[in-house]
Amino acid sequence: MFSLKDPLIARISAVLETVDMCDDSHIPKRDGQRPATILIPLVKRDEWHVLLTRRPMHMPTHPGQISFPGGRTENGETPCQGALRETHEEVGVIASDINLLGRLASFDAVSEFRVTPFVGVLNPDAKIIPCESEVEETIEIPFAFFMDVKNHVPRKVEFEGVMHQLYDMPWPNAKNPTWHIWGMTAMMMYRLYLGIKT
């Protein structure tokens, strides 16, 4: 499917934590908080791309937002199992067509979730079948776009009295964006960028 000798895959793998959860960092620490997992899917076409989804406008939360496959981790699931299940449910890619490389550190979302992001490589021949009730369409954007600092548009946001520095990543550019990638989706790619660039 792919080789760890691929320079980009090797660089990404080097900055990720192990797939297996060896600690409790993914477990919610706040009252009422729930665990969630997402997958950052990479796929090799003419170059490496990131697979994203656009949520339908009828969704009760975050309508039209660009996001990764993911959602709440169910009882009895490991974070890894949750990410694979959600990816299958949302975009139809089966677990055997996903090779997990590792994960980014878990973090508290602005919502009630504690999120654990995984990074995985998709079989380029995998069938991508969006779930109509959850995904309006899938989008593939070159990985290099997210790794170019010129595409990171800074935005400050105040939350609970604290100012936070965020970065939006409008595709293909800020002056004429086709897709506006922002919020948690953009910040996960920014965290990956920081790891690779350091």
Q: How does pLDDT run across 36-87, given as a tens digit for each residue?
A: 999 999 999 999 999 999 998 887 777 889 999 999 999 999 999 999 999 9
With cut-offs at 50, 70 and 90, classify the pLDDT of residue 3.
low
Pick from 84, 182, 162: nearest CA to 126: 84
Q: What is the pLDDT of residue 114?
A: 92
Is the torsion defined by CA of 167, 19, 90, 28 positive or negative? negative
Q: What is the pLDDT of residue 92?
A: 98
- Residue 158, pLDDT above cutoff 90: no
Q: What is the pLDDT of residue 137?
A: 96
The class of domain 7-144 in CATH terms is alpha beta
Q: Check: pTM over 0.85? Answer yes or no.
A: yes
Q: What is the pLDDT of residue 27?
A: 87
